[in-house]
Structure 1
């Protein structure tokens, strides 16, 4: 599905597809729980019916969000089995099963409202856990990125690297993470994957028109690219 991401990139969308879509089933699950609670508190069957509609819609939307997540995993993480991704996959499977159970229980009507509240709460807890590990994947603790010289441009590059690159590349070793480790990159003669000669031009080309499955960063300015290069020279 690389062609889809390339098409979206041409119209200015450079981000993963999963994050904006996953909010739909997660919001519906939370809504189902809230409406069920309101129905119980105020003894209003209409709210229970609304909670059931939320669960049905969540059951329809969740597989789409999961599919987009799998596509993003291949596109942006090269299919790497990172721990948060593995946990998210397991929890996503659990969530689909629980949503299906919720739908079955909701068909019993208002008389099963207490059971529905319990199952909805479990669905919501699972959804929150999925969101947590999604956050860990993107914003979780990363190894400190240090700059060994006083170049302000290199410091800017370190900050930019932490935001855009650190999730996939180690800076303190040559071991692969999602992509290759970059320690000593500019001390080597060849780039680790493309095997092109190491130079500022080759690194710039890798950022703009990457070799293999690394995502491109056409939105980076020349100054930002230079800051990344200056930072990588310190590794």
Structure 2
């Protein structure tokens, strides 16, 4: 038994350098692919905006958001939601479509992606200056944003 192990060992002894180099290349390749995959998923770090790293964003609407509860505002907010938000978000569940579901969004302690407190001001901020992959809706008027928030408050 010992002699067979010694024969195998001496036979492969000359190839140890090559095997070591292959192991090193495989290890490097595994780390490079996992790092490359991470960079592709995060779009090369684009998920963190430089302005958010540098300093926290200021409130968009000074003086706070008026949380409307009248049926007309809620109806307008629902129409706006269905025309602007429905393609990526499900209003009646927490399932993630393209973006997170909005069921009970203002009743939760934190917003689903940015993890900021779930307040009307932070929702307005998210609509105007999105945190991640969401498109900006900065062209919406203050009233439109307040109507969307009024609808979200009913979920």
TM-score by structure 1 length? 0.36
Corresponding residue of 1:231: 151
In 2: Cα distance, 1:171 partner to 1:218 partner: 21
SS of residue in 1 equivalent to 2:90: coil
Pairwise mapping of residues 10-49 of structure 1 onto structure 2 (< 5 A)? Answer: none
In 1: Cα distance, 2:90 partner to 2:103 partner: 7
Over 2 Å off, 4+ runs? none
In 1: Cα distance, 2:152 partner to 2:92 partner: 11
Corresponding residue of 1:199: 119
Corresponding residue of 2:83: 163
| Structure ID, larger Rg | 2
- Tell me by how many angstroms 1:150 deviates: 5.6
- Tell me by how many angstroms 1:220 deviates: 0.2
Pairwise mapping of residues 140-219 of structure 1 onto structure 2 (< 5 A)? Answer: 151-219=71-139
Pairwise mapping of residues 100-115 of structure 1 onto structure 2 (< 5 A)? Answer: none
Task: Name the count of aligned residue pairs.
Answer: 88
The one of 203, 215, 220 aligned to 2:140 = 220
TM-score by structure 2 length? 0.55
- Tell me by how many angstroms 1:174 deviates: 0.1
In 2: Cα distance, 1:213 partner to 1:171 partner: 18
Question: Where in structure 2 are there 5+ consecutive unaligned residues?
Answer: 1-42, 44-68
* Bigger RCO (CA 8 Å, 6+ sep): 2
In 1: Cα distance, 2:141 partner to 2:95 partner: 29
SS of residue in 1 equivalent to 2:106: helix
